[in-house]
Structure 1
Amino acid sequence: MSFIKNNIKIALVFALLAGTQTASAQIGWPATTEQTKPWARWWWEGSAVNKKDLTWNMESYHNAGLGGLEVTPIYGVKGHEDEFIQYLSPQWVDMLKYTLTEAKRLNMGIDLANATGWPFGGPWVSNEDASKELFWKNYDVKGGEKLSEPVVFVQQPLVRADGQAPKITDLVEPISSNKNLQLMALDQVRFEKRIPLTVLMGYDDKGQVLNLTDKVDAAGKLNWTAPAGEWKLYALFQGWHGKMVERAAPGGEGYVIDHFSKPALNHYLARFDQAFKGQDLSGIRAYFNDSYEVDDARGQSNFTPLFFDEFIKRRGYDLRDHLPALLGNDNKENNSRILCDYRQTISDLLLDDFTKPWHDWAKTRGALIRNQSHGSPSNILDLYAAIDIPETEGDDVLRFKFATSAAHVMGKPLASSESATWLNDHFLSSLGDVKQAIDKYFVGGVNHIFYHGISYSPQNAQWPGWLFYAAVHFNQTNPFWNDFSTLNQYITNCQSFLQQGKPNNDILVYYPLFDSFSEPGDRGLLKHYDAMKPDFKGTGFESSAEEMLKKGYTFDFISDKQIMDLQTSGSHLLTGGLNYKTILLPDNKYIPLETFNKMVDLAKTGATIVVYKNLPSGVPGYSGLQEREKAFKTLLAGLNFTAENNGVKIAKVGKGRFLIADDIAPLLDAAGINREQMTDKGLQFVRRTYENGNSYFITNSGGNQVNGWVDLSVSAASVVVFDPMTKNYGLAKSRKQADGKTGVYLQLSPGQSCILQTLPVKTQIAAYLYYQVAGNKVPVNGTWTLSFTEGGPTLPQPIKTAALKSWTDLGGDDLKAFSGTGSYNIIFKKPVQNAAVWKLDLGKVNESAEVYLNGRKLATLIGPQYVVTIPSAQLRTVNQLQVRVANLMVNRIIDMDKKHMPYRIFYNTNFQSHSPGSKGPDGLFTTINWEPKPSGLIGPVTLEPVKPLFVR
């Protein structure tokens, strides 16, 4: 019965998610839900949580505008050891249940990491289930002789730690039995021991292959006399990679699992089944897995006990017959093809024996899974495709597209992001900085933001509270906390559109993974796929994607497996409920026969396949190579190209065609693909479609003001423009272009963004207000009174000044050390010039500002522009302007460092330095050499008269 209930719950969750895709366009802001709000990773340091502070924290997050939290236990805080709760203990589960209850009361969502820190692992992971590494030795034996040395391999000792590294001789097995695991923060441990022989193969100079494994006795002696000829013996040994859970919470310290073994995963998850048995945890929306990061260590996890059997099943031949090629000692082509097959098998195992079974496990518990597939030695598009919510991270739009493409191609409504992990060094990032980073995620297709992150911190914790080792610090102690809700409301407004409708991209770009699989790497047998670089640097895949992004073409990446599920409707390609116009082959060398055959079939039924520079020249891998190559050449021979205009060649295939050219623009033009020309003006965008129109999220990522007409690639009778920062909206000024498409007038300052909604019919709503300058700026001069209302270490005395500058330059050490809020007040007269509207420009602000006029709040401004529009009627003859400015945490931290006051009170990583000049003698972060950062209202503050640009 519980299984049926869980599956009904999952069906309802997906129905709700799918409903967001089919919602028709509406005039006005879409409804706000917990899902449209930003969420945050919630670090439970030491799992030292209590119910009183759980409630206080969650209420403060809710009031700040967060919609949900992902619980991730992490390393502890020194001095609070008595409060540590062992991971998955009954007390820990009780705290989780209380959290779920409070989340329900506050209408917040909860996800749960399926581990402490990352990757999956813990003290219950046995040596049999821990990650494995392959080691090898070669031996030469002449005919008639015996091998004199034993076939043994002794694994060398290794200890790597993020904390205080012990000597290997001070550690015992199992790891969980050692004391001070939090203090040591072990990252990788290998004990000196003889590791088991996996296989011993012999190869002679005539091509004969012998399996000699059963001729090696327990002492490693090979009882075998070599037949005539020259023999090379290859011995493979299965060792322990030794990777430990990074940043583990108390009770979570231990080995990382073997990700290529289904039994290892099942044993790992059984510990959760045991801990959760009989408990109502139905409030968990999704389980989470962080990026792979197993090989962020010495060596590689590159083997599993059943690998050779799995290889035979998946590739059709025995890899043991080809160990010289696997290890790079055969001819170049054989080396390449055998290595490719090995990597493909590892990729398959990570998908079939880890990702899919984990998904099935969560489904039986009535939950989704959220996964960061990047970093894996695998086809990350297929890994992302196998989960419910693909998650990305970083600062590169093309990197984001791996996760968001899989979401789009597979019809998944949400793509999430680990956001603002390292925008700058500790304590240096503003809300405006975060806003710019979030906009880039939106451009990359993300529509479900997760901050990285917020640390649970007791209400009475000494400032700056409990912090995580990475920045940005989204904590209640940060001076920007009072303004945090403004950023969260902005994200909510954007995501209310971005979670509606469907993605509207034109091009599917083939992911040429087999090119990379077939090339040797510099880190061992495996490569780890994260973004374009380093494995696709300098390739046609990289250059074509970069050019299309720059020129405003819309595209998603697609894998071989996903291509096999494509359907056609006329010339359109159908997948995940979406319509694409073409597939692009990005000058790749290899393509599986099945994939290319599918492309030819798609063309026969009407599709257009575009080829950048060169067609693939062959198929990857080793098995059945001659037959596959012959069939591939036959397919190529059926493509008869003739020259067209602009260097484009065309080959007609059935109802469709192949196009090939050396340049992207004429190639896509010939395929009938329109671009969004707004990128020429420094604008970036993401486009979605509805039943009766389109929406665009647009951000001005350039350095220049955009004030003019912007051409869209779609046709519309009306366009509505929405300002997600102010929540104002209105009918945009638009016009029909000569090509039948629509142009819209936009006014966007650098760093500013908007949302457009196009409609097929005329609509009658109030016009969006555009302004033009109507006179000279008027300075707001006089005496400013600066008082300090909140912050520390102490509240400085009020200051009167006629010259605006950083408050660190207005007094003594108390001002230099102050982090908090300063309130600027001034009395000014209304300018004599007549104007319908005035733009109040605060000039330079460090860092966020609440603006009040005559006691009425006008706005909270987080940057990069600090401008607010004031109707003339709101100005009195004599006015009071109040600007409450919050600076950053950094100046108080500098003061603490210079006074050697402790705040880095955490086990494990404590803190990492992330910029030049911030590393102390211990190699960790310090601000002791920093000068106070500019703070407050810098100005100049002006009023600029403006008038409507268009009068209707």
Structure 2
Amino acid sequence: MKRPRFCTLVFSALLAFTLVSCQKNTPEADAGVESVSAPPPSVTPTGEGFLSRELFDHPPLQARPMGLWTWMNGYVDHNQITYELEQMKEKGMRGAIIWDIGALIDPDKIIPSGPEFLGPESLVSIHHAMDEAERLGLELGLIAASSWNSGGTWITEKHGSRALLSSETKVQGPSQFSEVLPLPQKATNVVEDIAVYAIPDRGDQTVVSNEEMLDLTDQLGPDGRLNWQVPEGKWRVLRFVWHGTGEHLNCPSPKSSGLVIDHLSREATDTHINHILDALLQGRKDYGPLKLLMLDSYEVRAANDWTPDFIEHFKAHYGYDPKPWLPVLAGVQVGSEEKSARFLHDYHKQVSDLMIEGHYGRASELVNKRGLKILSQAGHGGYARVDPLKALGASDLPMGEFWNHRKNWVTKEAASAAHIYGKTLVNSESFTGWQHWQDGPAGYKRILDVALCAGLNQVNFHTFAHQPKGAGLPGYAYHAGEHFNVNNTWWPVAGPMLEDMSRSCHLLQQGRFVADVAAYYGDNAPNLVPAKRIAPTVKPRWSDDHCLHCGKKLPVDLRSLAFGYDYDFVNEEVILTRMSVQDGKLVLPDGMSYRLLVLPDRKTISLAALQRIAELVEAGATVVGTKPERSNSLKG
């Protein structure tokens, strides 16, 4: 069977459904090249054949929308939990993701305080929701914190977030120096020394050679006192420490404030995820309708991220000691500007790899052992430190986001991750914003169509606020989001809208995405897949050579790609471990294929990626882009 070179989407008004086919121009059509064969019906995601009429009329559960079910301040009403789940079922939703969260904007303290998240009383409510969802045949998820960062009341300083800090002391030589070096101003009581270096003080000149730096680490006592015979000249003494940041969760429910975890630490992730899983299973034989844990966007404060065994991991991966290069993180250029940039590349990539392996990938391993999945918003929607494609690929279910009447769109990123890592579902935090009650089905349809065309195939309303008895009308509302819930004036007629969303998502979950170009965005971290489009109701803040979501320069410029062609972004890991060439096409193990590989718009590249790309070219691949000139790493 030949795969038709078009995409079929279902777009409808509230009560009428219209099937729209959009013919797709392709390089194959232009060149007279035969299209790629589609997989047989038996291997489609549903296993029911391509575009089954039965499933079109009655979309399966995985195609139906969910909602981020905000339990504001942790305060809930069991009868209302039952009612809301029954209404979700009646209107055609898949279920909801429980989100214990604080009321960020509630100046009059209208919303009462509920119990501590995952405490005994909280678990009774969660278990009630699980029982009712199971009775109704719905699915549930749970955000893995009373916040959007991982952490909780059960996290101690041992597993809290860490950062690298430095202090500076100026010394004149020749002299004998014996003083306690000051700790960095932000250092907490959880501090461990890493290194001490002295560099020549030449005023505004910040470049020093490796030979000029003096390693004084062995001369620092356990009390922080440095005993040093100072050579001739002026010196800057830099003391590097890691410390526990003491950063707490953003916006927890009132009794649920706790430390943010060390996201670079496998041990911290084990402690965090296992605590949640063990708590949820108390008094129960299994997790029943609870199918997933959600890791929300990473929004930990900017810092030089650290973990106690960072140096050991770095040495093992890059083959050199990072300590002599730490002054670069304090604003000093070591060796040269280029060498310093290479170290920064290695440092940030190591942070990314530790976070992906120790948090996103590890969390998936832990929940998979219990029969659950991780839904992860690991892209560049928050304050990402990672290679987002690799982080999303390490999670079971990649999740993006798109906002109503806002620029915040990262759906194409999640879609690319799903395609290149062999995943069917592309979830998204949907309709976030500050429109409050201004929009309804017509407005939702307009922006959802854009998100569907960017690759979304599973909707998650942001938000579906729980409405305990006494909430009144329009009821409790999370500060950011379309307030889609049982209190909407049009809720009684919401069913057709949800059916339409379900049908569109079901169709897009079938078959395989057709892309013409694989755009390699490099191996640096953090990185980004730029938004293809943003909400059509807002004017872009930046020119089209920048990401319309975040304003950063495009890692790969695809603006010359003609209308009708499409693409995925790919990363180094996929090129090294999943990409090969067949009949001149770049192919992936799960069936994705591309006519062209486009290189990032920079002159640096990792040696491993360059060697693999050369092999792909030798095998018949077509590669275009800026010619690399040098390595981006200090790795030998």
Bin for the TM-score computed over the shorter chain: 0.7 to 0.9
1:430 pairs with 2:471: no
Given the alignment, which residue of 419, 422, 443 partners 1:411?
422
Letter in 1 for 2:312: D
TM, length-normalised to structure 1: 0.55
Query: What is the distance in 2 between the residues matched to 1:104 and 1:325?
Result: 55
Q: Which has the higher strand share?
A: 1
1:378 pairs with 2:386: yes
Q: How does 1:267-416 map to 2 (within 5 A)?
A: 267-275=271-279, 276-277=281-282, 279=284, 280-295=286-301, 299-300=302-303, 302-330=305-333, 331-374=336-379, 375=382, 376-395=384-403, 399-416=410-427
**What residue is the counterpart of 2:634 in the other structure?**
622
Look up the SS of the partner of 2:116 in the other structure: coil
Look up the SS of the partner of 1:207 in the other structure: coil
In the alignment, is the contact (CA less than 8 A) between 1:39 and 1:451 conserved in 2?
A: yes
Query: What is the distance in 2 between the residues matched to 1:224 and 1:535?
Result: 47
Query: What is the distance in 2 between the residues matched to 1:403 and 1:247?
Result: 25
1:87 pairs with 2:102: no
Q: How does 1:462-541 map to 2 (within 5 A)?
A: 462-514=472-524, 532=547, 537-539=552-554, 541=556
Question: Would the alpha carbon gap of residues 267 and 207 (structure 1) be closer, same or farther in structure 2, given more than 3 Å must change?
Answer: same
Look up the SS of the partner of 1:449 in the other structure: strand
1:420 pairs with 2:431: yes
Question: Would the alpha carbon gap of residues 325 and 85 (structure 1) be closer, same or farther in structure 2, given more than 3 Å must change?
Answer: closer
Letter in 1 for 2:339: N
Letter in 2 for 1:532: C
**What residue is the counterpart of 1:444 in the other structure?**
454
Query: What is the distance in 2 between the residues matched to 1:540 and 1:498?
Result: 27
In the alignment, is the contact (CA less than 8 A) between 1:87 and 1:251 conserved in 2?
A: yes
Question: Would the alpha carbon gap of residues 459 and 323 (structure 1) be closer, same or farther in structure 2, given more than 3 Å must change?
Answer: closer
How far has the Cα of 1:244 moved from its partner? 1.8
How far has the Cα of 1:534 moved from its partner? 7.9
Q: How does 1:56-67 map to 2 (within 5 A)?
A: 56-67=83-94
Query: What is the distance in 2 between the residues matched to 1:194 and 1:306?
Result: 15
Q: How does 1:94-243 map to 2 (within 5 A)?
A: 94-141=124-171, 144-147=174-177, 149-153=179-183, 155-156=185-186, 195-203=191-199, 207=211, 209-227=213-231, 231-243=235-247
In the alignment, is the contact (CA less than 8 A) between 1:23 and 1:500 conserved in 2?
A: no
How far has the Cα of 1:357 moved from its partner? 1.2
Look up the SS of the partner of 2:502 in the other structure: helix
For residues 198-247 of structure 1, what are the alpha-carbon distances to aligned partners after superposition, in whole Å with 9 as ceiling and x for unaligned? 32123567705554334223443212213567654321122343432122
Query: What is the distance in 2 between the residues matched to 1:127 and 1:150?
Result: 25
In the alignment, is the contact (CA less than 8 A) between 1:155 and 1:194 conserved in 2?
A: no
Moved over 6 A (4+): none
For residues 322-373 of structure 1, what are the alpha-carbon distances to aligned partners after superposition, in whole Å with 9 as ceiling and x for unaligned? 2333434222112211111111111111111111111111111110110001
Q: How does 1:799-838 map to 2 (within 5 A)?
A: none
Look up the SS of the partner of 2:140 in the other structure: strand
Larger Rg: 1
Gaps of 5+ in 1: 1-15, 157-189, 518-530, 625-952
Letter in 1 for 2:314: F
Look up the SS of the partner of 1:394 in the other structure: strand
How far has the Cα of 1:540 moved from its partner? 6.0
Give the aligned CA root-mean-square deviation in angstroms. 2.8
Question: Would the alpha carbon gap of residues 516 and 123 (structure 1) be closer, same or farther in structure 2, given more than 3 Å must change?
Answer: closer
In the alignment, is the contact (CA less than 8 A) between 2:547 and 2:553 conserved in 1?
A: no
Query: What is the distance in 2 between the residues matched to 1:127 and 1:322?
Result: 27
In the alignment, is the contact (CA less than 8 A) between 1:399 and 1:532 conserved in 2?
A: no
Look up the SS of the partner of 2:437 in the other structure: coil
Q: How does 1:666-685 map to 2 (within 5 A)?
A: none
Query: What is the distance in 1 between the residues matched to 2:245 and 2:474?
Result: 38
Query: What is the distance in 2 between the residues matched to 1:17 and 1:36?
Result: 19
Letter in 2 for 1:514: N
Query: What is the distance in 1 between the residues matched to 2:409 and 2:443?
Result: 20
Q: How does 1:777-796 map to 2 (within 5 A)?
A: none
For residues 412-451 of structure 1, what are the alpha-carbon distances to aligned partners after superposition, in whole Å with 9 as ceiling and x for unaligned? 01010000011x5322122211111211110110101100
Query: What is the distance in 2 between the residues matched to 1:534 and 1:144?
Result: 54
How far has the Cα of 1:34 moved from its partner? 1.4
Query: What is the distance in 2 between the residues matched to 1:510 and 1:128?
Result: 38
In the alignment, is the contact (CA less than 8 A) between 1:327 and 1:335 conserved in 2?
A: no
In the alignment, is the contact (CA less than 8 A) between 2:171 and 2:237 conserved in 1?
A: yes
Query: What is the distance in 2 between the residues matched to 1:232 and 1:535?
Result: 37
How far has the Cα of 1:263 moved from its partner? 1.9
**What residue is the counterpart of 1:252 in the other structure?**
256
- Percent sequence identity over aligned pairs: 26
Query: What is the distance in 2 between the residues matched to 1:17 and 1:265?
Result: 38
Query: What is the distance in 2 between the residues matched to 1:604 and 1:121?
Result: 48
**What residue is the counterpart of 1:555 in the other structure?**
567
Query: What is the distance in 1 between the residues matched to 2:48 and 2:422?
Result: 15
**What residue is the counterpart of 1:20 in the other structure?**
45
Question: Would the alpha carbon gap of residues 52 and 409 (structure 1) be closer, same or farther in structure 2, given more than 3 Å must change?
Answer: same
Gaps of 5+ in 2: 1-40, 201-208, 528-545
Query: What is the distance in 1 between the residues matched to 2:459 and 2:130?
Result: 20
Letter in 1 for 2:467: S
For residues 167-212 of structure 1, what are the alpha-carbon distances to aligned partners after superposition, in whole Å with 9 as ceiling and x for unaligned? xxxxxxxxxxxxxxxxxxxxxxx97x68543321235677055543
Look up the SS of the partner of 2:160 in the other structure: coil
How far has the Cα of 1:144 moved from its partner? 4.1
Letter in 2 for 1:198: I
Question: Would the alpha carbon gap of residues 609 and 456 (structure 1) be closer, same or farther in structure 2, given more than 3 Å must change?
Answer: same
Given the alignment, which residue of 66, 70, 89 partners 1:43?
70
In the alignment, is the contact (CA less than 8 A) between 2:348 and 2:525 conserved in 1?
A: no
